[in-house]
Amino acid sequence: MQTNEPMTAPRVLPRGPHRLGREVVEASQRGRLLDAMAHVVAAKGFGATSVADVIARAGVSRKTFYEHFRDKHDCFLAAYDLGVEVLLATVRAAGTEETDPLAVTRARTRAYLRTLSEEPAFARTFLVEVAAAGPEALERRRAVHRQFAGLAREIVESIPGAPRLPDDLYLAWVGASNEVISAWVVAGRTAEIAALEDVLVHIQVSLLARPFDSAE
C-alpha cells in the first residue's frame, strides 16, 4: 500500500533469484502479508481466517510470516493500522483548497467514501471485521473514531464564533456515519457507497447545526 495511491495493493516481487536488498525484500513481504490479511478476512471473516490462508495468498513461507508477526492477531492489527493511516491521510488532504466549512465537509466525506469503495476488502476489515478481533482491536477502533471526530472538530472550530461542542457529539457523528456505511458494506453494496455522500453530510450538519449556522 502506498500513500500516494490509497489502499493500493503492494507491488509483488518476482519469484526466484533477484538482486534487491534484504530490506526491500522484507518490506515487500510484509506489505504482501498485510494486503493478504485484509483480503482473506474480508472473504472468510476474522474468526475463520488462518495463518495458512494468509501466507497462501501472500505467496510467502510460514517462516517469513513469523519473522514479521507474532500471530494472526498481530498481523491483523498491523493491516488495520496501516489502512487507517492511509485513510486518515487521504481524508485530511481532501478539501484543502476550500474555505467554506460545508465544502470541506463534503470533500472529506467524498474522499472517505471513494477510498472505501475502491478497496472493498479493506472497507469490510475496517468497518465490520475489526469488531471480531478482540478487545485490543476495539480499543484501536475507538482511537480511530476519536481521530475522525477530531477532524470534524477542526472544521467546526474554524468558524468564527463557533461554540465548543462536547466530544461526545462528534463521536456520535462518527458512530452514526459508520453504522450507515457498514450496513451497505455488509449487504455487499460497497461499490455503491459513494451514493451516501448527501446522507453523511446531512448527518454531520444536523448534529453540528448550530456552529454551521453561526457562519451564515
Model pLDDT for residues 153-193, shown as the tens digit of each residue: 999 998 888 888 899 999 999 999 999 999 999 999 999 99
Q: Global pTM? A: 0.83
| Pairwise CA distance, residues 28 & 19, whole Å | 14
Model pLDDT for residues 93-147, shown as the tens digit of each residue: 999 999 899 999 999 999 999 999 999 999 999 999 999 999 999 999 999 999 9
Give the domain ranges of the chain: 74-214
CATH fold, domain 74-214, is Tetracycline Repressor; domain 2 (1.10.357)
Residue 89 near residue 5 (C-beta atoms within 8 A): no
pLDDT surpassing 80 at residue 195: yes
| Pairwise CA distance, residues 197 & 26, whole Å | 39
Cα→Cα distances 10→25, 91, 99, 139, Å? 12, 21, 35, 27
Q: What angle do CA 168, 152, 112 make, to 5 degrees?
A: 115
pLDDT at position 180 = 97
pLDDT surpassing 90 at residue 13: no
